[in-house]
Every structure is written in structure tokens, then in C-alpha cells.
Chains A and B, each alone.
Chain A
Amino acid sequence: METAPMETEQRLVKLSSSQGDVFEVEFGTACYADVVKQMIDFTSESSDAETIPLNLKTTVLEKVLQYCDYHRDNEPKEIPKPLPTTNLGEIVGDWDAAFINVDDENMLYELILAANYLDIKPLLDLACAKAACAIKHMTPDAIREHFNLQPEQMTPEEEQEMLEELKWCTDGGAA
């Protein structure tokens, strides 16, 4: 067991969530996100022990760190566009499919925002692909209901016009 590389790997970085929870993670894991690396580079000039504040909820940061820790040693697969199937496991592998198969859909969208915020492109693609799979076969009405979105106030004429425009892609019996 080499001690020198271990010492490098063992450098720990403290990241805090927006709720004040502090995570101590390895340097390599933290630096998987370029934004965090830049923040570490910046803060290490002033103080070694400084905690990097991240504008992420504790549960989201925890999940992001799990992804970073796994993929620092396992290069993620590129996800084809458009998705050839909605079975993500066939495309990205079992670990990523299980990782992104979150029970709470809010977590999925928070992960998308977190990946965007931290500039972790593979995670962003994975989460966006999952979101695309989820809404692919949903009608606009179903999406509104699913996400509790309010429809725009339209006059009957405007609504008719929009429906007419989109009837080419309106399969089944509902618009």
C-alpha cells in the first residue's frame, strides 16, 4: 500500500449544504465538479480548513456526492440523443439507472438544477434523460396534473388555435 498517493487522495474537503450540514469528502470526489474544484482552489489560498458553501439542500448534496464518488473512477457512458429506449438501464448501465431512479420526483429536478449549478455534465445529462423518459408519453394535461401546473389563461379562440396547430402530434383520444 503506497502511502504517498494515499496521502494525496486523503486530502479531505469540507462542503456545506444550504441547510448548514457539512460533508467531509475526498478531494478527488469534490473536484469531480469543476465548480467545486475552482472554489477549492480559490479558498485553499486563504485557508486550508475553510468549508465550501454550496447552495444545495443536504439531501441533494448527499446524492450529488454519491454520484461524484462513484464516477471519479468509473467514466459515465454517453447518452444518445434522442433516447433509443425509455429503459435507461440499457443505455447508462445498472448503477446509473438505479442512482437516478429516485422515488421523489422533486429530487430528480433538484438533481438537474444541482448538476447544472455544479457543472457536472454527465449527471445533468443523466437526470435530463430520466426526466425526458418520464414525460415522454404524458399528454400536456397529464403533465400539468402531474406537476401541479396551472394552465395558461387562454380565450376559447386561442385554445382552439393551439389545439388545431398541435393536432398533428396529438395521438390517442386526448389533446
Chain B
Amino acid sequence: MEMSGGADENAGKRPRVDNDDSSPAAAAAGGGGCSTGVAVDGGQPSDQEVHPVIDWADRANVCRLVPLLRKIKSLEAQTAAVLSEMRPHVTPTLADKVPGLSNKLMTVEQSVASRHDTLRGLIKTLDNVAVAKPPLPQPIATKTLPPDATITQLGRPSLDDLPPDVAHIVLAFMPTKDAAPLSRVNQAMKQVVTDDTRGVYRHLVIGVDEREWWNRGIRRNARRTLEDIGVHGDDSSEEDIEEDEEEQEEQQQEDDDDDDEEEEEQEEDQEDEEEKEKEDDSVREGEDDSAGEGVTGGADLRRPSKRLREQDALDVLKQKLGRLRTAHISTHWKRLDFPLKCIEASRDTVRSMKLCDDTPGFEDYYYGVPTSRPRVCFSQLEDLYVERWPARRGFRGWRWRFPSLFRLRVEGPTPWHQYEGAKDIMKRAPKLKSLSVEYVSTRDEEEDFASLIQGCPHLTDIEWVHLGLSHEFARKLGKLKRDLDPIWSKDSLKDVDNRIGLEFGDKISVPFTHELLHPTDTDAMSLPDFLNWAGVGQLHGRLEGR
């Protein structure tokens, strides 16, 4: 607040705090040369910096206080204006004759200015208060219940009291191997767990850290007897225990191997296959060889029977898991043999699959699957999300077919892996409508994009098509249009909303702007023309970029 008049020796020392025209000092300043112009303490800078936190319950009080303070402040400004009107009438002679007149008026002026500034500071402070979050609501009243009223109590709810819809939500957060045993809790839980549409045997869920369990733990469990489990007393022989310990050691060793080089994984994989083949042989032999050859005694007699038990138990489980509706694998899915068998057995029921791969780095090894594996046609599968689809032959997935697939999303460690994976799957997915890949190339030399989409005449939703560097934009757009024209210009798709996501690998810099808008290359297409063609021309659709 700037003060005028020569009587104020403190003028200019107090920091300016606002430009409020209604301030008493401003009013006094307009009143002539007798203004006291005294600096007052109201509205210190600290008032503006402090943001008090008030209680939730006081919010309404603040709302009521602020207008009242403004009203008082306005009255103070009016008082100051009246005081300034008085000043011309206090002549020096009058002041001489009436002792204290001038001093007392000055005191009044100072008081008014002080109150005004104080009020202004208060208003600013209240305007800036923060409101604390309300405390936990407390009951404000307790109704008097009629004498015959009965308080509805929910009782003591428990796991098996949950409505089936809710119980299924609980189960959905659990992997299959943890949810399935709940059927033993009681009949209510059994009904939920084994529900024919939403139960755990219709939705295979494998968590991130379950690879070893599904590869080895499940087999180990399956070949036990109930006595081995210890349900009716632990009758496990020393040899059984030793075998289990050996297996645990093997498992530990394999866990350690997970961190090793890919070559070691490959070797381990081959060993697994060999071991599996041996075990299969044993199972086949065991059926009519239970008497053994009379050489190795009881251990040999028992081993085939254990493997038979394993096979029987897994066969039963495979039947249960052979009508899956969804499959969600969060770990290295390609190396889960039994779950993949269950998924393949569900070829006519599975509608959605999410196959994730949490292995770090690259992978490019051979999966060693016999070439005689039969084709698997997933007749109902509509949604497929897959990570790290193998690009090399030999993987069982190369025998898979997806005649009903609508939506495909492929991810991989590199754009090349994603692209090759998508290309491979799309060859077997003639009804595909939506494709999502991190990077779809439009390389001229290999005609990749054209070959990618040519087998999918219903494809109307594509992301992300990489357009390369900025100087290539127009040419790539032209190629993109030529590639899409055979599909998107069809009469049958004219009323369909198309969508294409474009990936810009570079900024559209000034030197190329003209080329982008007015390409000279006959094969090129300007961005506006492309937008027109893709979005508002003869086609309906959306175009997105990133």
C-alpha cells in the first residue's frame, strides 16, 4: 500500500500487499494533503503464505465468515473515505486552537487503516485455507427403533456364505492350482469351484511363478498314493522319500538353471523330452509288466505302478481341464507341456487365451516337438493375446489353427519377433478383424504388410503401422493405401468402421513438410489424401497416431 502525504515518516517502509481500491489509505490519499499515511501491521506477507488446514466441520463456518468480513472491510473503507472528506476542514488555525484535534483524527485514521488491512489479511487467509479430509464418519444419531423391530444382522459371514457371483470373484484372483483344492472345504465351496461355466476347471489360470510346479510338481503329486500324501498315515517308504528328495534337488537345480544361458535351457529341455519319452515307455510297458523281470526286485515293481498312477491322475485331470473356456498363463507358456495339452483338448470350447512369457532376454531355441503332432483347430477361439510366439518351426503352435479368431495381440522382445509371430498366426486366422502389434512394418523390399494382411479379408482394425523416417512418410502412406485397398475398398466393408494406428518413428521436420503435403513421387500419397481416404472419404473409419 503506497501512502501519500508528507506526514508519514514510515511511508514506503511497509511492503505493498495489495491494490485494493477500497483501502482506507487509498481513500485518504484521494482526500488531500493531510493524510496520515501511517503504515499498519495488517496483512503481513506471512498472512498470505500461511495456508491453515481447517477441520472438515468448519468449512461452512468459513463460508459464512468471509462475506461478513468483506462487509466489515467495506464499511471500514467507507469510514476512511469520510475521514478524508473531513481533512480539508481541519485547517492549521483550527488545529492550533483545538489541542489534540489533528492528533486524534490521525489516530482514528490509523485505526481505520489498521483494521482494514487486518480484515484484508484475514479474508485472504480464509480464502486460502485448506480443508482437512473428513474424519471417519461417526453416527450423528441413533434412531429409536420400534419395540417390535428386528435389527437385520448379516450374521458372521464366511467364505462359504458368499453368493456364488462373489465367490467366483474371489476365485478369479487365484490360480487354478490354489483354487481347485477349495472344493474339498465343503459342499457349498465345491459347487462354486466345480461350477460348469465359471468354475476353476473352465478357466485355466497359471501364475507367474508356477512353471516348475506345472512341469514337475503336478507329476510328482499325481503319482503319489493317498498314503504318500499322509491322509491316512504316512506310509511312505524310505525309498519314496529319497526319490522325492532327489526330485526336489533336481527341481532346485533347475530353478538355479533358470538363470543360466539359453544353451543350458535347451539342453535341459531336451533332457526333459528324453525323460518324458522314457517315462511314457515305462507306462506302456508297465501295464503288462507289473511282475517285473525278476531282476531288480520291489523298486522296479513299484516304479511302473507309480507312473501308472501319475498317468491315470493326469488323464482324469486332463478330462476335467479339457473343456476350458479361457486360459491365462502368466509364465513361460511354451514349456508347459501338460497345460498346453489341456488347452489343445479344449479346442472346441476355449474362447479366449492369454499366453504370457516372463523369460528375460531373447529366445531362439528349438522346441523339439515331434512333427507328427496332429493339427489342433481352435474352433471357438475369438481372442488371443500371445507373447513371444516362436518364429521357428518345430513348435507345437505351428500346428494350431484359429478359424474363428477375431482379435489378436502379439508381443515379443523385438519388433521382428512380434511381426513374425503375428504373420505366422494370421496365416491361420482368416476371420481376423483386429490386429495389435507394437510394430507393423511396411518395408517395400519384402512386401511385408501386403503379405501380412492378404489372408485376412475382414481385418479392419490395425495398430501400430510403422511409417519409418519422415522422408519416407508419403511413399509409405501410398504403399499402405495400395496394400489396404483390396480389403478396405470392398463393398462388404464400406459401412464398417475401420481403424488404423500409425507409428511415427521420427518428427515431421520442416524440410519434409512440403514432400509430405505435396509428394512428387507417383507412388506416394500426401497425408491429407491418406486421411481423407482412411477417414472421411469413401471409407468410414478412424486414424490414430503416436
- Residues of chain A having any CB pair with chain B under 8 Å: 1, 3, 6, 10, 14, 16-26, 51, 55-58, 60, 62, 65-66, 69-70, 79, 81-84, 106, 109-110, 112-113, 116, 124-125, 128-129, 131-133, 135-137, 139-140, 143-144, 147-152, 160, 162-171, 173-175
Residue contact B328 to A147, C-beta cutoff 8 Å: no
Please pick, from A1, A19, A58, A131, the residue contacting B63 in the complex, using a CB distance under 8 A.
A1
| Cross-chain pairs A/B with CB under 8 angstroms, 6 sampled | A1-B66, A20-B145, A60-B154, A113-B157, A128-B170, A143-B185
* B450 interfacial contact with A, CB 8 Å: no
Please pick, from B143, B185, B231, B313, the residue contacting A149 in the complex, using a CB distance under 8 A.
B185
Residue contact A109 to B222, C-beta cutoff 8 Å: no
Residue contact A131 to B137, C-beta cutoff 8 Å: no
Residue contact A19 to B151, C-beta cutoff 8 Å: yes
Whole-angstrom CA separation of A18 from B139 in the bound complex: 12
Residue contact A166 to B184, C-beta cutoff 8 Å: yes
Residue contact A1 to B169, C-beta cutoff 8 Å: no
Residue contact B230 to A174, C-beta cutoff 8 Å: yes
* B487 interfacial contact with A, CB 8 Å: no
Given contacts A124-B166, A163-B229, A166-B181, contact A81 B173 (CB under 8 A): yes
* B330 interfacial contact with A, CB 8 Å: yes
**In the complex, chain B residues whose CB is within 8 Å of the CB of A140:** 181-182, 184-185
Given contacts A1-B66, A160-B226, contact A139 B181 (CB under 8 A): yes
**In the complex, chain A residues whose CB is within 8 Å of the CB of B161:** 109
Residue contact B137 to A69, C-beta cutoff 8 Å: yes
Please pick, from A18, A144, A151, the residue contacting B152 in the complex, using a CB distance under 8 A.
A18
Q: How far is the CB of B239 from chain A (nearest CB, A)?
A: 17
**In the complex, chain A residues whose CB is within 8 Å of the CB of B176:** 169
Residue contact A62 to B205, C-beta cutoff 8 Å: no
Whole-angstrom CA separation of A164 from B163 in the bound complex: 28
Residue contact A170 to B221, C-beta cutoff 8 Å: yes
* B88 interfacial contact with A, CB 8 Å: no
**In the complex, chain B residues whose CB is within 8 Å of the CB of A24:** 137, 140
Whole-angstrom CA separation of A24 from B134 in the bound complex: 11
* B98 interfacial contact with A, CB 8 Å: no
How many residues does chain B have at the interface if contact means C-beta atoms less than 8 Å apart?
74
Please pick, from A21, A144, A173, the residue contacting B229 in the complex, using a CB distance under 8 A.
A173
**In the complex, chain B residues whose CB is within 8 Å of the CB of A82:** 172-175, 205, 207, 328, 330
Q: How far is the CB of B96 from chain A (nearest CB, A)?
A: 51
**In the complex, chain B residues whose CB is within 8 Å of the CB of A70:** 133
Q: Which of B66, B152, B190, B316 counts the most chain A CB atoms within 10 A?
A: B152
**In the complex, chain A residues whose CB is within 8 Å of the CB of B163:** 116
Given contacts A160-B226, A163-B226, contact A22 B330 (CB under 8 A): no
Residue on A with the closest CB to B223? A167
* B158 interfacial contact with A, CB 8 Å: yes
Q: How far is the CB of B10 from chain A (nearest CB, A)?
A: 33
The 3 closest A-B pairs by CB, nearest first: A21-B139, A132-B173, A140-B184
* B62 interfacial contact with A, CB 8 Å: yes
Whole-angstrom CA separation of A152 from B190 in the bound complex: 10
Q: How far is the CB of B208 from chain A (nearest CB, A)?
A: 6
Residue contact A84 to B218, C-beta cutoff 8 Å: no
* B299 interfacial contact with A, CB 8 Å: no
Residue contact A174 to B229, C-beta cutoff 8 Å: yes
Residue contact A10 to B59, C-beta cutoff 8 Å: yes
* B153 interfacial contact with A, CB 8 Å: yes
Q: How far is the CB of A8 from chain B (nearest CB, A)?
A: 12
**In the complex, chain A residues whose CB is within 8 Å of the CB of B62:** 1
Question: Which of B175-214 touch A at CB < 8 Å?
Answer: 175-178, 180-187, 190, 205, 207-208, 213
Please pick, from A65, A106, A148, the residue contacting B157 in the complex, using a CB distance under 8 A.
A106
- Residues of chain B having any CB pair with chain A under 8 Å: 59-60, 62-63, 66, 126-129, 133-134, 136-145, 151-154, 156-163, 165-166, 169-178, 180-187, 190, 205, 207-208, 213, 217-218, 221-222, 224, 226, 229-231, 234, 313-314, 316-317, 328, 330
**In the complex, chain A residues whose CB is within 8 Å of the CB of B152:** 18, 55
Residue on A with the closest CB to B338? A168
Residue contact A143 to B217, C-beta cutoff 8 Å: no
Residue on B with the closest CB to A131? B170
Given contacts A69-B133, A175-B231, contact A124 B157 (CB under 8 A): no
Residue contact A1 to B231, C-beta cutoff 8 Å: no
Please pick, from A62, A143, A148, the residue contacting B137 in the complex, using a CB distance under 8 A.
A62
Whole-angstrom CA separation of A143 from B187 in the bound complex: 13
Residue contact B162 to A22, C-beta cutoff 8 Å: no
**In the complex, chain A residues whose CB is within 8 Å of the CB of B126:** 1
Whole-angstrom CA separation of A162 from B174 in the bound complex: 21
Q: How far is the CB of B155 from chain A (nearest CB, A)?
A: 9
Q: How far is the CB of A99 from chain B (nearest CB, A)?
A: 11
**In the complex, chain A residues whose CB is within 8 Å of the CB of B60:** 10
Whole-angstrom CA separation of A165 from B184 in the bound complex: 10
Q: How far is the CB of B69 from chain A (nearest CB, A)?
A: 12
**In the complex, chain B residues whose CB is within 8 Å of the CB of A162:** 183-184
Whole-angstrom CA separation of A106 from B161 in the bound complex: 11
Residue contact B133 to A1, C-beta cutoff 8 Å: no
**In the complex, chain B residues whose CB is within 8 Å of the CB of A175:** 184, 226, 229-231
Residue on B with the closest CB to A149? B186
**In the complex, chain A residues whose CB is within 8 Å of the CB of B224:** 167
Residue contact A112 to B141, C-beta cutoff 8 Å: no
Residue contact B162 to A169, C-beta cutoff 8 Å: no
Whole-angstrom CA separation of A164 from B159 in the bound complex: 24
Whole-angstrom CA separation of A173 from B240 in the bound complex: 13
**In the complex, chain B residues whose CB is within 8 Å of the CB of A16:** 143
Residue on A with the closest CB to B217? A171
Residue contact A143 to B317, C-beta cutoff 8 Å: no
Whole-angstrom CA separation of A16 from B176 in the bound complex: 41
**In the complex, chain A residues whose CB is within 8 Å of the CB of B153:** 18, 57
Whole-angstrom CA separation of A167 from B128 in the bound complex: 66
Residue contact A22 to B207, C-beta cutoff 8 Å: no
Residue contact B178 to A166, C-beta cutoff 8 Å: no
Residue contact B154 to A113, C-beta cutoff 8 Å: yes
Whole-angstrom CA separation of A6 from B145 in the bound complex: 34
Q: How far is the CB of A10 from chain B (nearest CB, A)?
A: 6
5 more A-B residue pairs beyond the given contacts A55-B152, A56-B154, A62-B138, with a C-beta to C-beta distance below 8 A: A1-B62, A81-B172, A128-B169, A128-B172, A151-B185
Whole-angstrom CA separation of A110 from B515 in the bound complex: 66
